[in-house]
Amino acid sequence: MSDRRGFTLWFTGLSGAGKSTIADLVGPELERRGVLVDYLDGDVVRTHLSKGLGFSKEDRDTNINRIGWVASRLTRAGAVTLVSAISPYRDTRADARRMVEEFGPFVEVFVDTSVEECANRDVKGLYAKAFAGEIKEFTGVSDPYEAPEDPEIHIRTESQTPEQSAAEVVAALEARGLIGQAVGA
């Protein structure tokens, strides 16, 4: 057994909120502290692990349950797992939390960005289509998003750069004693 303690950092928020961007900045910072980092990005997962699933409540729940299960295994193995998935349902996130917490801490990061701001950014061009009614079941527009009530970390991206948001996450992990100082810092 390694004495290194794994944990899962679970980014939840609307499409375009900034989950992947922040995870991609936080990951290398954690690697500099000598931890093994793994990523489970919702868009990537849907191309293999969850290929064929759609966006009904049932399929969304199946997708999140799969991600939660893999995150729990990686946490058990001592990795720090960065999950970026809309994960719109509170109960389903709670199920993922229960699976992970069998083996290590689950840190929920609410990437809080309004629908209006996400639509302004419209990174993938999806909001324009959703507002035009071309995409059904689009989270925040025509499908629910249940915001976390008590997340471990709450990031408000509209008043920050991605670098500031990532620094806030890293500082919160340090404050919780989950990571040490960067080597050479």
Could you list the residues that contact ligand ADP (CB under 6 A)?
13, 15-22, 84, 111, 121, 123, 157, 160-162, 165
For residues 26 and 103, which CB has a smaller minimum distance to ligand ADP in the complex? 26
For residues 7 and 110, which CB has a smaller minimum distance to ligand ADP in the complex? 110
Q: How many CB atoms lie within 10 A of CB 73?
A: 14
Quick one: 184 exposed, middle or buried, by C-beta within 10 A (0-12, 13-18, 19+)?
exposed
Separation CA 118–CA 127 (nearest Å): 8
Amino acid at 175: A
Residue nearest to ligand ADP (CB): 18
Radius of gyration of the chain (CA): 16
Nearest to residue 96, comparing CAs of 21, 43, 54, 42? 42
Amino acid at 29: E
Q: How far is the CB of 126 from ligand ADP (least distance, A)?
A: 9
For residues 19 and 103, which CB has a smaller minimum distance to ligand ADP in the complex? 19
Catalytic one among 50, 84, 87, 165? Answer: 87
For residues 83 and 96, which CB has a smaller minimum distance to ligand ADP in the complex? 83
Would residue 87 show up in a list of annotated catalytic residues for this protein?
yes
Q: How far is the CB of 73 from ligand ADP (least distance, A)?
A: 23
For residues 111 and 115, which CB has a smaller minimum distance to ligand ADP in the complex? 111
What is the number of helices (H) and of strands (E) in the chain? 7, 5
CA dihedral 44, 48, 76, 181 (to 10 degrees): -20
Q: How far is the CB of 168 from ligand ADP (least distance, A)?
A: 9
The beta strands (E) that lie in 13-167 are given as 37-41, 80-84, 106-112, 153-156
Where in the sequence numbering do the catalytic residues fall? 87
